[in-house]
Amino acid sequence: MSVDENDSNETTSTTTTSTAITIGGDKGHVVEQVDDAIFLKIYHAYRWKMIPNCTGRYTCRDHKIVSKLTPCEVLASVGTAIHIVDALEKYEYAFQEERRKDPIIVIPFTEEKETGLITYIKCESEAGNVEEELAHDDGIKYVHTLNSSSGFQRKLEAINVKLTDDHRLQD
């Protein structure tokens, strides 16, 4: 068992086996077991920190490495086969609210949409033209959050995102 201390002095316990990880349980957090293969690959390939007060949601401590990678490149970087990456559903959302201005890409890891990656697209330019910057790969940084079942569903509900075909990215 390992304990990860984050900057807010909260801890979250993790128990790892080769086929599953048990997370949460400290300070009233939900205990859950994650056995999704893609989640586990990403979790073990990079260093993750639980987002304070958000059981099941993690941000990457290896930000300098992964902030340059698109969500699909993160998946490929941990050895997920290209045909699997291509087969995963991908959704894109842009928000009109000032407090939530960063567009996101959501990639559920299973057909049941239980676990997944939520990636925030941050523009580095003052103009903030995401479409133009994505087309030229200029000034874009990605903030990836890895989400277990409880964290994934809770965050999508909190930002009022429903994974529907009208937001699905076409490969």
The verdict on residue 61 lying in a domain is: yes
Decide if pLDDT at 50 tops 60: yes
Q: Tell whether 35 is covered by a domain.
A: no
Give the domain extent around 65.
52-167
Instruction: Give the per-residue pLDDT at 100.
Output: 72
For residue 116, is it within any domain? yes
Does 76 fall in a domain?
yes
96-141 pLDDT tens trace: 776 778 999 999 999 999 999 999 999 865 544 555 545 555 579 9
Mean pLDDT, residues 77-97: 93
Specify the pLDDT at position 9: 37
Count the domains in the chain: 1
What is the per-residue DSSP string for 26-93? GGGPPPEEE--HHHHHHHHHS-EEEPTT-TTEEEES-HHHHTTS-HHHHHHHTT--HHHHHHS--EEE
Q: Is residue 160 part of a domain?
A: yes
